[in-house]
Amino acid sequence: MNFKKLMNFKKSMDSKKLILYSSVFSIQGLSNAAIPILPELAGVNSGDSTGSNLLFSGYFVGALIALLPFGIMADRIGNLKVIGFGVLLTVLSGLVIYYSDNLYTLGIARFLEGIGCGAFFPAAFSMISEWKNSQCSLGEFNFLLNAGLAAGVFFSGILAGLGIKTAIGIFTLLTGISFIFILLETKEILYSGRIKKKFTLQNSNYPVKSQKSSSLLLALGSHLKKAGKTMLKSSFGKIWGVSVLLYGTTGLLTANYPNYSAGFLTKPELGLAISASYMAAMLSSLMAGKTKMNYKNMVRAGIILAVAGILLSLKMPVLAFTLIGAGGGIAVVGLITATAKISSSGFAMGIFNTGIYAGLGLGPVFGSFFLGPFGYETVFFGSALVLFTMFFVKLE
């Protein structure tokens, strides 16, 4: 009987891994397929970065807004249901991006695609954190996450000659296939509404799960108020701050590199350079998931590598993006591990991910104010110095 239960558990685990691993690859591939062709999607000259930054940041702002509400929703109705919604919204957004050429329509689609991403990740991280040997699974998950990002920018650049949106069409199709895998779990998605745990941040007894009849908006307000106070008393706030600056500075570089490099890199070369970042992150996150390195040292090592990469981006783009990716891959495993030590709930992972997407969404927008008066190189150099200050933050 115990053996039968064990086999059923293994089968369930395998199916959920298939859903998470295939979905994260295709979702991230679709999101990054837009990066090398941002100027063409925006329909602007290489000297104007406004439209490109709109399309880049719109995705991450959408994710930022969605993370906490869907993190709470995952705790209430179950992770698989929220994951299914996120993947479906990504498919629909991809279709709009593929068929539309209107800048504002594309901006809205990228925003909705970001919401789909924001629904997916808190539930996915929460699910993984409950698995046996979760740190190893987290390394595998981040390996595929970065594989998708690498594939997105690489094939977008390589296939641009066949059609500017060829890669977007391919990854929309792959995301649709991932959604089919989710449909195979229809019974579990429709009927698994059990909540296995409550979430309380460190030093707080206030649970995320409240009366089912209560308004999600009211619940969100209550949780944010309580969580805000608790974050100041724990390392959660430090984790969040490091995430904002790490992804804000690297996002600023990535968003503006297509325009910055227009005079010396072709589209395939640009796709190769940026994809090197994600290929390095694939390997570093996989190794970090299997190592016994302390999570604090992971974060510090990641910051040093990312700073070096930003500085080298002015002269050696492939090496630069490789270092940035390796640093991000190591740091994110350390940051998620630190978060999981406080709580593994969807709400906790939602808070953590808001740091990532706040950085990615707002970093390029904030940085664009300085590009005019100071230029690309000065802004990139300044962002590296700001990120370096995070090396001295002490995570508890």
Asked if residues 366 and 248 have their Cβ atoms less than 8 Å apart, the reply is: yes
Question: Tens-of-pLDDT digits for all 396 residues of the chain?
Answer: 454 544 454 455 577 888 899 999 999 999 999 988 887 888 765 455 677 778 888 898 898 889 888 888 888 888 888 999 999 999 999 999 999 988 889 999 999 999 999 999 989 988 887 777 777 888 888 889 888 988 898 898 889 888 889 999 999 999 999 999 888 875 654 554 444 444 444 444 444 444 444 566 666 666 666 666 555 556 788 899 999 999 999 999 988 898 898 888 887 888 888 888 888 988 898 888 788 788 899 999 999 999 999 999 988 999 999 999 999 999 998 998 888 887 767 777 778 888 888 898 888 888 888 988 999 999 999 999 999 999 999 887
Q: What is the pLDDT of residue 268?
A: 83
| CATH number for the domain that contains residue 241 | 1.20.1250.20
> Which pLDDT score, from 0 to 100, does residue 96 have?
96
Record the tokens describing residue 91, joined without a space: 């498919």
Half-sphere exposure for 379 (CA within 13 Å, toward CB): 25
Please give the distance of CA 199 from its chain centroid, rounded to a whole number: 22
Tokens linked to 225: 């108020």
In a domain, 40, yes or no: yes
Residue with token string 């299997």: 290
- The verdict on residue 7 lying in a domain is no
| The pLDDT value given to residue 266 | 86
CB atoms within 10 A of CB 311: 18
Q: Residue 208 has what pLDDT?
A: 45
Q: Give CA angle at 122 (119, 128), nearest 5°.
A: 130
Whether 363 maps to a domain, the answer reads yes
**Domain ranges, residue 276:** 14-192+214-391
The model carries a pTM of 0.72
With respect to residue 294, please indicate whether it lies within any of the assigned structural domains: yes
In a domain, 208, yes or no: no
DSSP annotation string for 320-363:
HHHHHHHHHHHHHHHHHHHHHHH--SHHHHHHHHHHHHHHHHHH
Distance CA 125, CA 134 (A): 10
Give the residue ranges of DSSP H helices in 166-294: 166-183, 186-191, 216-233, 236-260, 267-290
The number of domains in the chain is: 1
In angstroms, rounded to a whole number, what is the distance separating the alpha carbons of residues 17 and 31? Answer: 21
In a domain, residue 199? The reply is: no
Q: Rounded to a whole number, what is the largest CA-CA distance in the chain?
A: 71
Answer yes or no: is 74 within a domain: yes
Say if 201 falls within a structural domain.
Answer: no
Quote the pLDDT of residue 290.
80
Nearest to 314 by CA among 395, 389, 380, 366: 380
pLDDT at 229: 59
Give the torsion through C-alpha atoms of 269, 271, 273, 278, to 10 deg. Answer: -160
Q: Of 181, 124, 158, give the one whose Cα is nearest residue 274.
A: 158
Residue 298, CA distances (Å) to 161, 234, 316 in order: 40, 19, 25
